[in-house]
Chain A
Amino acid sequence: MRSKPIDGALAELRIEIEKYALEYGLDYYPVVFEVCDYDTINILAAQGGFPARYPHWRFGMDYDQLSKGYAYGLQKIYEMVVNTKPCYAYLLNANHWVDQKIVMAHVFGHADFFKNNYWFSNTDKNMMDVMANHGTKIRRYMDRYGQDAVEVFIDKILSLENLLDPAVLFETPEVARRRMASMVVEEQDDSSDDRSSALKSFMRQKARNDGDQVGQAPLPIEDHNSDYDSERYISPRDVMLYLIEHAPLEEWQADILGILREEAYYFLPQRMTKIMNEGWASYWHSTIMTQKALKASEIIDFADHHAGVMAMSKQNINPYKIGIELFRDIEYRWNTGKFGKEYLECTNMEVKENWNLDTGLGREKIFEVRKSHNDITFIDEFFTQEFCERQQLFTYKYNSRTGRYEIDSREFEEIKGKLLTSLTNFGQPVIEVEAVNFKNRGELLLRHVHQGVDLDLNYAAETLKNIHFIWKRPVNISTTQEGVETFMSFDGKEIKTGS
């Protein structure tokens, strides 16, 4: 793996682009640009942008796919930005000069977003080091307990990786500290130390296990219906934390679970702001390039690259496209005053069409939006009928009669509804822990909060098996299938499904 800091002409270019970014008011942690070859950038991308991760075959799989995609000319990663402080950005050495310009401008957009968007406010900005430490730790566990045992355990935990509660992102260090303290009474005040929370989870586990035997069934806790007192509160959607607390894990297992949970939460804001983040960065590369940085000779190449990134697809929503257009639309509406009670209640289409109050609040508004919204609220608030029509959006579904996918609807309400549904809970089903001592037999009961779309039962069954591996007692989930209450359980031998 080779990457080196930019120098020479690229360093000069960076100074130029950065000057424009600052003039526009972008605000970010220092950005460190490095150039690397395609193999390195594929490695980095496979590892989520980090040069050092724990060993796991899945990174190798992603690397395999990316390398092939590059070799066959199907895809190419121009750049990668990591949400850290300083903010690391990798450029592909084979990029054209214009591409490097675009990419740098794009990077400053991302960097600004990482620093200012609220959903990122509690992400660990030292993640480079933290990830590397996680790698070292897990490698040590592999040395001690065997690579297979550790890898198999990680495979199982990955089944839980999407069972997260976004609210946890706003848990202030103070709340987290109090919760930790309440869990381990013996532990001293640790507000001043800088140990990773995964390490703390490990220590907490250790402290807890000193009290009771390792490897036992989960301790029965009162009645499963009674609420935990508020100090001990764990969000029912934070399934990983529930398992750390209640599953009969070995020390190293609890630690690994904590590590993977921490990493999952670190990536969560990126999953929740894909449209905004890409839209914002694209808005800025487009603005900086077209207004400042572009030379006349580069216009065609820029337009070609930009159009490629913004390409609309009939099969998918392109987050870059929707994001940038929505930001532009907001800017336009707030520049012309097309918002508020008066505008919305105006029934004269003619007047509405030509509405212009010269409010000029556009730029200010989009900076505000990038600060306080995530994809759902972004779409919910700013996705208007006019916008929907202009973007030629539609929904499609499978027609079993013709055996093909067909355009289903161009109705605004339906499209918006579908878009919001697909973004709810970052596109994952909402799963809650209902009871950790179900039937008073130490069974785990999960509940799928049904919001209109059924679970894939085959996957659910496999997932239950993996959770059982961790929980070691029967695991159950209640859900709804085609309108019927459905109950699925796995007791270590067979999957049972009933209504």
Chain B
Amino acid sequence: MDHPIKRDHARFRKIVKGRIRDNLRKYISNGEMPSPKGDGQFKIPMPSIDTPRFKFGDKQQGGMGQGDGEAGDPVEGEEGEGEPGEGEAGNEAGSKELEVDLSLDELASILGEELELPNIEPKGKKTMESLTEKYTSIGTQGPDSLKHYKRSYKEALKRQIAMGQYDPNNPVVVPIKSDMRYRSADAKVEFENSAVVIYMMDVSGSMGDEQKEIVRTESFWINLWLKSQYKDIEIRYIIHDATAKEVEEETFFKTRESGGTLISSALKLCREIIQSDYNSAEWNIYPFHFSDGDNWSTDDTKLCLEILDNDIIPESNVFCYGQVESRYGSGQFYKDLHAKYGESNEEVILSKIKNKDAILDSIKDFLGKGK
């Protein structure tokens, strides 16, 4: 049986998750993003979970140290770094900032619970092949680290009995090389649903840093949710002003161009990408477009609607347009889309993002339909 502390631990994890859910809105509007650690876990700084006590304010406190240096020299390192050496029984909880690790699934489920997001019903057949390896079979060759002791000794025992070398009164079993058995992997083909998210963003002069920050935060959480819903997911980025180009993630959020805006340029590129790389029978396609709503001309807007209608919307699960409010943007494009597709179109989701506080609601707009 597990030690009771595992239950305390599970309890702690539950409290932490609850706390994160309660603070999700704050996290998101602060633009604080959990930092991925590489092994699929996310590190989240924890809002204080410690017990409130009467304690000294630290304004007047400072501290004490040992070592060289004159008055006025900086004290390197961070205050409260752990003391080295042997740990004493933990009767004093440390005051260190708490960081918790959550897996992508856990984090996504928190998001899902908080926003009451429905699971996505993938369209199309499960056509993507994916190979998964599982160590389910036994082989006669392999590295020592995969040696299967029980099976090896069984083989040895069989051999010894067969050869009449086994003495029940002195049950010594010595495996030789040919008795060794190793765990080995079986490759299994599974069919998956896969998805592609195509982000398009207007990087013309009117989109400021704050607007981009909003897009960045929003796209992080959208990616998180979609990743939890699809095993295989690809993400493409397109930036545009009067012309569009495909870029890396980093460039996507950093680029700033001046000049005019032709939304159609992005949509054209998006169409090209879909047509060349993603067969909509196999892929769930999610084009997201973020802008401040300015477009160069009504003619271009007309062209945009044409491309959407004829090429993009039929191929996609849903087309999402997020309009980030900016001082310079007219917001006209939203109105145009709204006039055409209305509020409750199944294939087009429109959302206005006023400020950082509205990010969470906008995420719900986009993902709340379970498309």
Contact = CB atoms under 8 A, between A and B. Distances in A.
Same assembly: yes
Interface of A: 1, 43, 45-49, 52, 55-66, 68, 74-75, 77-82, 103, 106, 151, 155, 158-163, 267, 270-271, 274, 277-278, 308-321, 391-398, 402, 404-410, 415, 418-419, 422, 428-429, 431, 448, 452-457, 459-460, 462-463, 465-466, 477
Q: Which of A57, A59, A62, A155 has the most chain B CB within a 10 Å cutoff?
A: A57
A316 B74 contact: no
B81 A315 contact: yes
Given A46-B90, A453-B56, A459-B53, 12 more contacts: A58-B12, A60-B9, A75-B82, A75-B87, A162-B55, A315-B77, A315-B78, A320-B86, A394-B65, A394-B71, A418-B62, A457-B57
B158 interface: no
22 contacts: A48-B90, A55-B8, A56-B11, A61-B12, A155-B51, A159-B51, A161-B53, A270-B91, A312-B66, A313-B83, A314-B69, A314-B75, A314-B77, A315-B63, A316-B83, A317-B65, A318-B85, A392-B67, A405-B74, A406-B73, A406-B75, A448-B54
B15 interface: yes
Nearest to A76: B87
A45 B57 contact: no
Majority SS at the chain A contact face: mixed
B66 A456 contact: no
Contact of A310 (B78, B85, B89, B98): B85
A308 B67 contact: no
Interface in B1-15: 3-15
Nearest to B3: A1
Contact of A45 (B54, B62, B89): B89
A314 B11 contact: no
A397 B8 contact: no
Contact of B62 (A49, A64, A395): A395
B3 to A, nearest CB: 4
Given A48-B91, A55-B4, A407-B69, A311 B57 contact: no
Contacts of A160: 53
Contacts of A162: 53-55
Contacts of B161: none
Given A161-B53, A456-B56, A77 B87 contact: yes
Interface string B76-116: 11111111111111111110101011000000000000000
Contacts of B60: 452-454
A315 B85 contact: no
Contacts of B82: 74-75
A313 B84 CA distance: 9
B61 interface: yes
A316 B75 CA distance: 10
B52 interface: yes
Nearest to A395: B64
Contacts of A317: 64-66
A418 B56 CA distance: 14
A274 B54 contact: no
Contacts of B299: none
Nearest to B91: A267
Contact of A408 (B51, B62, B66, B86): B62
Majority SS at the chain B contact face: loop
B89 A48 contact: yes
A60 B12 CA distance: 6
Contacts of A274: 88
Contact of A397 (B15, B62, B92): B62
B54 A49 contact: no
Nearest to B59: A454
A124 to B, nearest CB: 15
Nearest to A79: B86
B58 interface: yes
B53 A57 contact: no
B68 A278 contact: no
B35 to A, nearest CB: 15
B55 A65 contact: no
Contact of B84 (A56, A151, A311): A311
Interface of B: 3-15, 49, 51-94, 96, 98, 100-101
A394 B70 CA distance: 9
A59 B12 CA distance: 8
A409 B71 contact: yes
B38 to A, nearest CB: 13
Closest 5 CB pairs of A and B: A397-B62, A462-B52, A60-B8, A309-B85, A60-B9
Nearest to A285: B86
Contacts of B49: 61
A318 B84 contact: yes
A484 B78 CA distance: 32
A315 B79 contact: yes
Contacts of A393: 64-66
Nearest to A135: B4
A89 to B, nearest CB: 11
Contact of A270 (B55, B86, B89): B89
Contacts of B73: 406-407
Given A82-B89, A398-B62, A453-B60, A406 B74 contact: yes
Contacts of A80: 87-89
A314 B66 contact: yes
Q: Which of A79, A313, A428 has the most chain B CB within a 10 Å cutoff?
A: A313
A422 B64 contact: yes
Contact of B12 (A43, A57, A409, A456): A57
Contacts of A309: 84-86
A164 B62 CA distance: 25
Contact of B66 (A49, A392, A465): A392
B79 A404 contact: no
B54 A431 contact: yes
A163 B51 CA distance: 13
B74 A454 contact: no
Contacts of A75: 82, 87
Nearest to B46: A61
B3 A43 contact: yes
A93 to B, nearest CB: 16
A45 B90 contact: yes
A410 B11 CA distance: 47
A267 B90 CA distance: 10
Contacts of B5: 43, 46-47, 59-60, 63
Contacts of B4: 52, 55
B49 to A, nearest CB: 7
Nearest to B12: A60
Contacts of A459: 52-55
A277 B89 CA distance: 12
B12 A78 contact: no
Contacts of B78: 315
